[in-house]
Amino acid sequence: MAQLAGVIYTSHAWVDRPWPEWKVEREIRHLRPDVPRDSDEEMAAKSLRMREASAALGDKLAELAPDLLLIFGDDQYEYFHFDNFPAISVYLGEEFTGRGGSEARRGKGHPKFATALLTGLMERGFDPAFSMAPPRNGRGMPHAVMNPLHYYDAWSIPTVPLLTNAYYAPQLSARRHLEVGRAARGVIEDYPDDLRVVAIGSGGLWHTPRRDGAYLDEDFDRRGLEHLHTGEIAAWAEHFDSYAVPAGDASQDLDRDVPEEEMRGGDHVTHLPSRGGPQAGTRETCNWIAAAGTTDGHGAVIVDYVPLYAAPIGVGFAYCDDF
């Protein structure tokens, strides 16, 4: 029988980016005036902390010795486009490609488990889409999947991407992500083959990239991480979904388009109503909440939380291996 061996939670942006590049990015972004400015020494120290925390998760992943990775991640106009953007999708193919770090890479799929996940989610009240090959207009598997494989050099481990629409309005709520994670745990426990599965929650934490007036709400992140630490994931989902965007917060105004020449995948907007909660990149936190749903209330070890002001982004690392 399959078993959940552990869960890894990791940010997937700026983790391995050299800190001198942070300074350049800061100057071309339009941050809120009260965002702190780190010195060179502080940036170098934070860069070291991020590398050390990522290495610690790599060591933990090796210790867990997974036969399969189940990655909860969102897509940001990379794999899917708005001609057909599913709320939940399972990848069933033998392999997939995308960019890991700065290079085109190839990952291994696991069609048998992916099929069990697809049908198991349907049996548990979900209606996921599926794909057997990348869409014709897609650029490959999203960075939410490819970057963790790159950070932990996990290309040889069969991987099943479970992609959710955490990002684009109308998005899945944090509560729905939690329910997806709980259902995935049931699928793992019902799977007949002897597999050690490690789930990965990829993304986050707080960030509104390239938006005017961007800032970092460290208190919001730290309150969420405390819920993760204590295993109170339903409370975390409630904390997330009950957040109200402050009036006048341009960084979370998703009715305002980024100029085409500055646009990247995550900057596309649907102009449809949001489900509430934080907007833009902060919604990647829902990938962590989905992964935490597999743990059935068990708390996590918070390896580190690094407030990276140049982006700005809350960079987090955590794991759970106590079941």
Query: Domain spanning 3-320 has what CATH number?
Result: 3.40.830.10
pLDDT at 259 (0 to 100): 64
Residue-wise burial string across 159-175, b where 16 or more C-beta atoms lie within 10 A, e elsewhere: bbbbbbbbbbbebbbbb
Strands 159-164 and 68-74: parallel
Q: Does the predicted TM-score (pTM) go above 0.85?
A: yes
pLDDT at 103 (0 to 100): 82
Q: Report yes or no: 204 and 147 within 8 Å, Cβ to Cβ.
A: no
Would you list the DSSP string of 77-128? SSS--TTS--SEEEE--SEEEEEETTEEEEEE--HHHHHHHHHHHHHTT---
The Cα-based distances of 32 to 211, 217, 255, 273, 310 in angstroms read 10, 12, 19, 25, 11
* CA-closest candidate to residue 278, choices 253, 314, 310, 255: 253
Long-range contacts at 33-38 (CB < 8 A, ≥ 24 apart): 34/215, 35/214, 35/215, 35/216, 35/309, 35/312, 36/309, 37/309, 38/309, 38/310
- CB-count exposure of residue 208 (10 Å: 0-12, 13-18, 19+): buried
pLDDT at 256 (0 to 100): 65
pLDDT at 255 (0 to 100): 72
Q: Report yes or no: 234 and 240 within 8 Å, Cβ to Cβ.
A: no
pLDDT at 203 (0 to 100): 94
Structural domain spans, the chain: 3-320
pLDDT at 157 (0 to 100): 98
CA torsion sign, 17 to 168 to 137 to 140? Answer: positive
Give the largest Cα separation in the chain, rounded. Answer: 55
pLDDT at 135 (0 to 100): 82
| Blockwise average pLDDT, block size 10, the chain, 323 residues | 97 94 93 96 97 98 98 94 94 93 90 98 98 83 96 97 95 97 98 98 92 95 98 98 95 73 71 90 97 95 98 97 87
d(CA 308, CA 310): 6
Token digits of residue 86: 């599913």
Q: Is 315 helix (H, G, I), strand (E, B) or coil?
A: strand
d(CA 90, CA 260): 30
pLDDT at 323 (0 to 100): 79
d(CA 149, CA 281): 20
Length of the chain in terms of residues written: 323
Would you list the DSSP string of 238-306? HHHHT--PPTT-GGG-TTSPPPGGG--GGG----SPP-SSS-GGGGGHHHHHHHHGGGTT---EEEEEE
d(CA 255, CA 225): 29
**What value, to the nearest 5°, has the Cα angle with vertex 181 and ends 177 and 187?**
140
Tokens 């291996």 — which residue?
A: 321
Token digits of residue 167: 């990002």
- CB-count exposure of residue 268 (10 Å: 0-12, 13-18, 19+): middle
pLDDT at 134 (0 to 100): 83
DSSP-derived letter for residue 207 is B
